[in-house]
Structure formats: C-alpha cells, structure tokens
Amino acid sequence: MSFCADDPRYLNCSSTIQCGDLQGISYPFWGLNRARYCGLSPEFQITCNKSAPTITITNQNFRVLHINNASRVLTVARSAYWYNLCPQYLHNTSQVAPFAYTSDTVTDNLTLYYGCPSISSINVGSMMESSRFTCTTNQSSIVGYVLVKKAGDFTSANLTSIRDYFGACNTSVIILVNLSAIQDIEANVTLDALKAAIKQGFGMQWPDDDGLCQKCLKSGGQCGQVQNSGEFTCYCRERSHSSSCPAFLAALTVSMTTVLLICFIRKTNLFKKERSENHCDVDEVMRNHGSLVPRRYKYTDVKKMTNSLSVNVGQGGYGVVYKGKLKDGRPVAVKFLKESKGNGEETAHVNIVALLGFCYEKNRRALIYEYMPNGSLDKYLPSQGASSATGPLEWKISYKVALGVARGLEYLHRGCSTRILHFDIKPQNILLDQDFVPKISDFGLAKLCKGRESVVSMLGTRGTLGYIAPELISRNFGGVSHKSDVYSYGMLVLEMVGGRNNYDAQLSKGSQMYFLELVYRHLEPDKGLQLRGINTPEEEETARKMIIVSIWCIQTNPSNRPSISKVIEMLEGSLDLLPIPPIPYLTSPPVSPKHFETTTSSSSVFINSKGQEVDKL
C-alpha cells in the first residue's frame, strides 16, 4: 500500500459492476467488485449468477434486466419463473420495499393456479380451456391456469362458477408483470406468451436522494454510504466528505501537502530503520494488515480510546485485542502487535476486515480495526460453546456467512495483484458485523504467492488443528496451494452445518469419520438430513447444498477440490446440478491411487442428491 495514492474507497467505488449484458452498474448498487459502502441497503446488492445479474428482495431473487439511472427505474423479473412456470417452490411476488411502483412503472397482477380439479366436472370448461397451460416440475407434468381478466369481464353466473373453480385449486401464485404483457396474454394465452410476459419483467423505482449523488459526481467524487449511520457520503480522492468534494485548487493544495508530509514521514522512518534493527517498517505493517487508508495515532491516543486497555476482547494471531471507541463514537478493535513477519499486500473487500488506523512508536505497535459487534463465528457454533443467546445461526444467515467467506477468499486468491493464501481459516477468524456480513481477519499466517504460482514451497506447518489441509502436514498428499485454503473453508462450512468439528484432535479416528459418514448417508435420495433448525424446503435445500459443497472442499487430494471461484458458483447455482462427492479418506494415498482413477475419470457417473445423473465438477 502506498501513502502517496488515492483513497481506496474512492478507487473501489469508481469501479462498476459488469455482469452479462448489464455493464457499468454503479451507485446505489453494490456487490462483486464494489464494496458495501459503495451502495445502499442489502436490497441493492448485485450478484452475478451465470452471467445473470440478480438482486434479492424479501428472500426472493429477481433477475435484473435493465437499470435506468435517470428515472431511477429498475426492471426485474422473478428468477424462479425464468425457465419454468412450475418452480419447485411457489411464492407470491411480495412487497418490494425499498423500491416502489410509480406511474412510470405500470404493472399488473398475473395469477397462476396449480392443482385444479378436472374442468369437465364444472360448467366453465369452454371459458377455462383458453387459459390452460402445462409445465414440468420434478419430472412430472403439471396442468395450470392463468387468470388475467377482471371480475367485471364476466357475467354474474360465470363469475360465481369461476370463483368456485379456482377456490378448489391447491395453490395460486401472483406474479407482477408489465401491463402491456397482460394485454398480449389476453389476446392469446399460450405457454410461450406466458413465458414472454414474465421475461419482459416489471419496473420499480428506488427512492430519490434529492440530487446528492449528482452533486457528488459533478465535484469529482464517488457516491457511497456510511455503514454505521446509513447517511450519504461522497468519497473523494483524499478522503470522504458529507456531500461533495472541495474545489479543485483547495483539494490539490491539501493533497500535495499531505503527499509531501507523508513522504517525509516515510523517509524519516527509513532513516530510523537503518539506525535500529529492532524497528519495523511502518509500510510493511500496514501492507500486512491494511484495507483502507489508515490514520496514525499516538500511543497516548490509543490508551484513551481503549480506556487504558480495560476491555480485552480476545487473543488474536500475533497480539492481544482490546475494544475501544474513536472520538466520533465508532467502536473499534485495537490489536497490539508482538511482531511482524514477511511482506504484505493491500486488501480492500467487503468480506475482509477493514483497517482504520495504526500506532507505531518504537516498540509500541498497534492496529485499529473496525469493531464487529456480533463477534466471531465460533460464538454461534454449538461445538465452540455457543450459548442459547447467540446460536446457532438461522440457515439463511449461515448460507450468507458461507457465501461471504467464499467471496472474501476469492478476492485474496484472485482479486489482489499478488495471490494471498490465508492458511488459518477457522470460526475464530471470521468476524460478523451488525448485519452478519462475514469479514476474514487475522493474517498472521498468510503467505504471498508471487506470479500466481499454483504450488507454494513452505517449511513447517501453518494453521489450526482441525482445519489444516492434509498436504500441509504431509507432502505425500500433494503440493501446498490455494486449495489448502479451500480445505479449511470446507471444514468451516461443515462445522456450521453439523455443529461439531469432526476432525477435533481429541476424537479417535473412528469418531472422526462418524459424523461425516452419518451426514453423507442422509444425502442419499429420499432421505431427510435430520438436522436441527430445518423447518422449510428452502432450508433443507440450503443445508444440502452447504454439505455437498463442504465435502467437495475437504477432498484429501487437492486436485479433487474445487477452486474457491467454483465454490461460489456451486453455492449460487442449482442443487440439482451438484454431484454427490466421494467420502474423503484419511490416509496418505499411494503413488498411483486407484481411488482417484475411479472417482474422477471421464467414465465415472456422478449422482446428485435426487439420484439423478449430473456432470462432474
């Protein structure tokens, strides 16, 4: 990280989201390469699922078709109905807050009925035949009906018969579509017309910011939001401002003064380093831990913000962590360093813990991080002593945490100029903010891979017992690489699902395999997982997906594990496309293992959790 550079928040928010046909997505949206502070609430997060930009509102996924920043209109369509009019789970298009419908986004309801009685048994057959459609779900053909006419369009007798008929149907679903699409369906009710109407989508408008963003952009800044308060902020080259960047000359003067001052400090520090071997390079410490441009504090300031180191919140890698508070009221976590090892690399990602400041005075060295009010993930795992007040997490939050950690790892493995291997992914090093957004922390064991090497040379073993990949213990299992982090990630997700660490050092070899084999057996078709907290089909699907992905991640042979990018694709994709992985073995493989010849050859047949053949990973 260079001090003589733009604010990373400004640089991050200057980037735009590219996904499929949608290019240049910016404020108020965030996600992928744009950090959380570059957009508004969670409903404005964009994910990219197989080149399809997607947002989630009230637990429903919508495919983003078009964004009009001038009119603030977002055109979307229900993802579940994009390919099939009979999805596995049927839900109405619910409220879309914080978005709203306006005169510019004319929509109407399209009602689909499923599981209706035979129309031959009633006297509305001729009227209903034109509203009939067929579709397939779970390999079964389903007959459905669509109602687009209003009650006033029918005679009294017909209206009573139709109401009675639809009242006998098992399920009905309301889908919002464009009004013009409704008119097309009324003219000709066909399966293609229905699909076209849904894929045409509907418009909704996000709130007006009274021109704040335009004012910020015109001043040369980038729009964003203060996460703690939710207030608008304008990220400028040197720092953030409440509404707009200062005038050019004033900004240039401040910038040049800051550059000269910081460069002078750097030269002074380099001079001091030559005189004392015990002094650590400030840049090295900051690059090791930095994600935002930090502020330098005196040791006396650090003592004040931590109330004389009165609240100890934990023992992190290479130091003790204390809770503190900045002058503006923001809570922080202050880590006092024991030592600094190796070289570093700057990081800036929504799923990487952010550095706010530092202290460097001779042998007194501290890092000041954003404080995570929900603590670390281990507090929510029964195997780690979670209390009834904290855990376990709901399944949707567990999935959110698993996906967030994977995205953070993907950034470390692919998003930086130099690949970073963490080597200590475990619940204690996953911090949770107020919205349970996970942040990877504690890079004390991390290693840089120059030139994106596929295999890393290492001496000794790094990591925490229970999460260490086999190749870190014995090179007979393969070379150390980014797949070692994938293994640790798989163990983390498996523990989130199962509530226990099946590789705990205190367990016998038989016990180590017991939990994994037990869960594995329940992945067979027509068997429930029988895990606590599963109350809906969606939660069952989420748990199955997390288990399958985690078992793929902990395959003993590193070459059989997916990359972390593939892990994200698996988590965001369909459960039906995920093959069931083989059970990992716990012994060192022979030189030419027949096991992998039978499980990874092109002639192998992979089965998903429903007993269907699927492609291998």
CATH code (residue 330): 3.30.200.20
Mean pLDDT comparison of 171-175, 242-246, 287-291, 399-403, highest-scoring range: 399-403
Residue 268 lies in a domain: no
* Residue 483 annotated as part of some ligand binding site: no
CB atoms under 10 Å from CB of 293, counted, come to 23
Q: Which residue has the higher pLDDT, 126 or 204?
A: 204
Task: Tell whether the model's pLDDT for residue 381 goes beyond 60.
Answer: yes
Residues 480 and 573 in one domain: yes
What pLDDT score was predicted for residue 443?
81
Residues 452 and 565 in one domain: yes
Give the domain-ending residue among 326, 353, 370: 370
CATH number at residue 451: 1.10.510.10
- Cα dihedral 412→416→419→423 (10° resolution): -30
Structure tokens at 82: 């994009």
What pLDDT score was predicted for residue 1?
37
Residues 563 and 458 in one domain: yes
Residues 364 and 381 in one domain: no
In terms of C-beta density within 10 A (0-12 exposed, 13-18 middle, 19 or more buried), how is residue 193 classed? Answer: middle
pLDDT tens figures, 278-321: 344 444 544 444 444 567 888 888 888 888 888 887 776 567 88
Structure tokens at 104: 């510019």
Given pLDDT bands bounded at 50, 70 and 90, which one contains residue 344? very low
Given pLDDT bands bounded at 50, 70 and 90, which one contains residue 158? low
Task: Tell whether the model's pLDDT for residue 273 goes beyond 60.
Answer: no
Q: Which residue has the higher pLDDT, 195 or 514?
A: 195
Residue 270 lies in a domain: no
For residues 220-225, average pLDDT: 92
**% of residues, the chain, pLDDT over 70:** 67
Q: What is the DSSP letter of 115?
A: S
Residues 432 and 527 in one domain: yes
In terms of C-beta density within 10 A (0-12 exposed, 13-18 middle, 19 or more buried), how is residue 96 classed? Answer: buried
Task: Tell whether the model's pLDDT for residue 571 goes beyond 70.
Answer: yes
CA distance 234 to 225: 8
Task: Tell whether the model's pLDDT for residue 222 goes beyond 90.
Answer: yes
Residues 588 and 498 in one domain: yes
Residues 403 and 470 in one domain: yes
Of 16-30, 394-408, 413-427, which range is least confident? 413-427
Task: Tell whether the model's pLDDT for residue 439 goes beyond 90.
Answer: yes
Structure tokens at 280: 């650590």
Task: Tell whether the model's pLDDT for residue 491 goes beyond 80.
Answer: yes
- Give 160's contacts (C-beta < 8 A, 6+ positions apart): none
Structure tokens at 395: 């399944």
Residue 26 lies in a domain: yes
Residues 130 and 65 in one domain: no
Residues 481 and 501 in one domain: yes
Domains identified in the chain, total number: 4
Residue 19 lies in a domain: yes
Whether the upstream peptide bond of residue 98 has omega within 30° of 0, thus cis, is yes
Task: Tell whether the model's pLDDT for residue 129 goes beyond 80.
Answer: no
Residue 269 lies in a domain: no
Give the domain-ending residue among 195, 218, 253: 195
Question: Strand runs (DSSP E) across 403-446, as ranges?
Answer: 419-421, 430-432, 438-440
Task: Tell whether the model's pLDDT for residue 210 goes beyond 90.
Answer: no
480 φ/ψ angles, rounded to the nearest 5 degrees: -80, 130
Task: Tell whether the model's pLDDT for residue 502 goes beyond 50.
Answer: no
Whether the upstream peptide bond of residue 28 has omega within 30° of 0, thus cis, is yes
Residues 364 and 416 in one domain: no
pLDDT tens figures, 585-611: 755 444 333 333 323 333 345 556 565
Q: Which residue has the higher pLDDT, 258 or 180?
A: 180
Which one is catalytic: 108, 208, 210, 424? 424
In this prediction the pTM is 0.48
The CA distances from residue 226 to 7, 82, 211, 212, 213, in Å, are 15, 35, 17, 14, 14
pLDDT tens figures, 232-245: 999 998 888 888 88
Residues 444 and 489 in one domain: yes
Residue 260 lies in a domain: no
Tally of CA atoms within 13 A in the half-sphere of 318 that contains its CB: 18
Alpha helices for 220-346 (secondary structure H): 248-275, 282-289, 299-305
CA distance 232 to 164: 52
Q: Are 548 and 580 in contact (CB under 8 A)?
A: yes
What pLDDT score was predicted for residue 480?
86
Residue 3 lies in a domain: yes
Structure tokens at 305: 């913000």
Q: Which residue has the higher pLDDT, 21 or 256?
A: 21
Q: What is the DSSP letter of 576?
A: G
Give the domain-ending residue among 160, 195, 230: 195
Using the structure block, give the residue that is written with the tokens 């640790």: 488
The domain of 357 spans 280-370
Task: Tell whether the model's pLDDT for residue 35 goes beyond 60.
Answer: yes
Residue 331 lies in a domain: yes
User: Is 424 one of the annotated active-site residues of the chain?
Assistant: yes
As a whole number, the mean pLDDT across the chain is: 75
Mean pLDDT comparison of 48-57, 325-334, 482-491, highest-scoring range: 482-491
CA distance 563 to 568: 9
What pLDDT score was predicted for residue 520?
76
Residues 110 and 54 in one domain: no
What pLDDT score was predicted for residue 348?
63
What pLDDT score was predicted for residue 339?
54
Mean pLDDT comparison of 76-90, 247-261, 477-491, highest-scoring range: 477-491
Q: Are 487 and 466 in contact (CB under 8 A)?
A: no
Of 10-14, 33-37, 104-108, which range is least confident? 104-108
Given pLDDT bands bounded at 50, 70 and 90, which one contains residue 513? low
What pLDDT score was predicted for residue 46?
92
Task: Tell whether the model's pLDDT for residue 271 goes beyond 70.
Answer: no
What pLDDT score was predicted for residue 558?
92
241 φ/ψ angles, rounded to the nearest 5 degrees: -135, 160
- Cα dihedral 94→97→101→102 (10° resolution): 170
The amino acid present at 496, given as its one-letter code, is: M
